[in-house]
Amino acid sequence: MDQTTATKAASPKDYKSDFKPIWCPGCGDFAVLNAITKALAFLELPREEVALITGIGCSGRIAGFTSLYGFHGVHGRALAVGGGLKAARPDLTVLVAGGDGDGLSIGGNHFIHACRRNMNLTYIMMDNEVYGMTKGQASPTTAADWEQSKLTPHGTGIRPFKPADLALTAGASFIARGFAGDPNGLARMLVEAIGHPGFSFVQVLSPCPTFRPEQMQWKTQVRVFEETCTDDPILAAQRIQADDGMSTGIIFRHEHAVFQVKNTVGADLESIEQEFVI
């Protein structure tokens, strides 16, 4: 049979912590956790050489469910923390994860600048088109006519962001969209994203069974992009615009200069601690 004869010994379980996820049963975020751990196992990355930085929200809890170094950061600032870590420790594989509200509303500014800065890190946006942790408010990716929130009973009336479109416009060099219902396909996408030299953005359609139960039908609506990945931003823009947001695959990949801070401070731990002595 035609198959990759991978000789990987690491197990996805090695990358999970002993904490049981507290997400609602049926949540797409479970599959994202599985996809991340499968990707890391395939790549055989030592746990101590990977950091997972997360924002606030249901999805932000994911770092605690892994055995990686993690930082559950301030709302919307996961990319700032992740970028800082990468600047200080370019040897680490840095993954950043959060939700659509965390990444596009509170953290929207950090998102667009992370795209254009093109540091070598991977940003996973678990997009369920709702603020779940705060009990179901409209987020920047919520459809304008979604009327199920008490805060916006007649819908927001505001056109939602298309995350891939925004990432492309802001200069991201790797843009992909995956689906939580396909954890194996998502794992493969993450392997590609982690291997990409530069900022890789992976939007994951991750259904919320509690506040957006209709999203449980996404599994009948998602499809793979008919076209293969392009390095032409105009073509990528046309594909994103023509799509209804339910096509999955690597949309755009282009290699350009990776930003990395050149002048690192050569301070030892003792002298850094001295800075904090009151």
Q: State which of residues 15, 36, 40, 42 lies at the interface with other proteins (CB under 8 A).
A: 42
Verify binding: residue 60, other proteins, rule CB under 8 A.
no
What phi and psi values does residue 243 have, to the nearest 5 degrees? -90, 155
Round to whole Å and give the CA distance between 82 and 92. 11
Residue count of the chain, please give it.
278
Report the residue from 171, 181, 198, 245 that binds other proteins according to the rule CB under 8 A: 181
6 near other proteins (CB under 8 A): yes
Q: How far is the CB of 7 from other proteins (least distance, A)?
A: 6
* Cβ proximity to other proteins, 20 vs 159, nearer residue: 20
Among 17, 22, 46, 232, binds other proteins (CB under 8 A): 22
- Give the one residue of 10, 14, 24, 238 binding other proteins; rule: CB under 8 A: 24
Distance CA 253, CA 80 (A): 23
Q: Which residues in the chain belong to E strands, given as ranges? A: 50-54, 69-72, 93-99, 122-127, 174-179, 200-205, 223-224, 247-253
Q: Does 3 bind other proteins (CB under 8 A)?
A: yes
Q: Which of 113, 116, 162, 219 binds other proteins (CB under 8 A)?
A: 219
Considering the complex, state which of residue 148 and residue 169 has its C-beta at the smaller distance from other proteins.
148
**Structure token pair of residue 121:** 């890190």
Of the pair 34, 230, the CB lying nearest other proteins is at 34
Q: Per CB under 8 A, does 89 bind other proteins?
A: no
Question: Rounded to whole angstroms, what are the CA distances from 37 to 12, 65, 68, 115, 120?
Answer: 5, 10, 10, 24, 19
Q: Is 7 in the site for other proteins (CB under 8 A)?
A: yes
Least distance (Å) between residue 188 CB and other proteins:
4
Determine the Cα–Cα distance for residues 227 and 171; give it in Å rounded to an integer.
21
17 binds other proteins (CB under 8 A): no
Under 8 Å between Cβ of 34 and 183: yes
Closest approach, Cβ 233 to other proteins, in A, equals: 27
Is 45 among the residues that bind other proteins (CB under 8 A)? no
* 31 contacts other proteins (rule: CB under 8 A): yes
* 113 and 199 Cβ atoms separated by less than 8 Å: no
Residue closer to other proteins by CB (options 45, 216) is 216
Q: Which is nearer to other proteins, 60 or 83 (CB)?
A: 60
Could you tell me which stretch among 34-42, 88-96, 169-177, 229-237 binds other proteins (CB under 8 A)?
Answer: 34-42
Q: How far is CA 141 from CA 31, 86, 177, 243, in A?
A: 20, 28, 14, 15
52 makes contact with other proteins (CB under 8 A): no
The Cα 98–Cα 101 span in angstroms is 8
Among 209, 225, 230, 249, binds other proteins (CB under 8 A): 209
Listed in order, strand segments (DSSP E) in 84-156 are: 93-99, 122-127
If the CB atoms of residues 8 and 256 are measured against other proteins, the closer one turns out to be: 8
What DSSP character marks residue 136?
Answer: S
163 binds other proteins (CB under 8 A): no
Quick one: which H or E segment has residue 273?
helix 269-275
Helix (H, G, I), strand (E, B) or coil at 95: strand
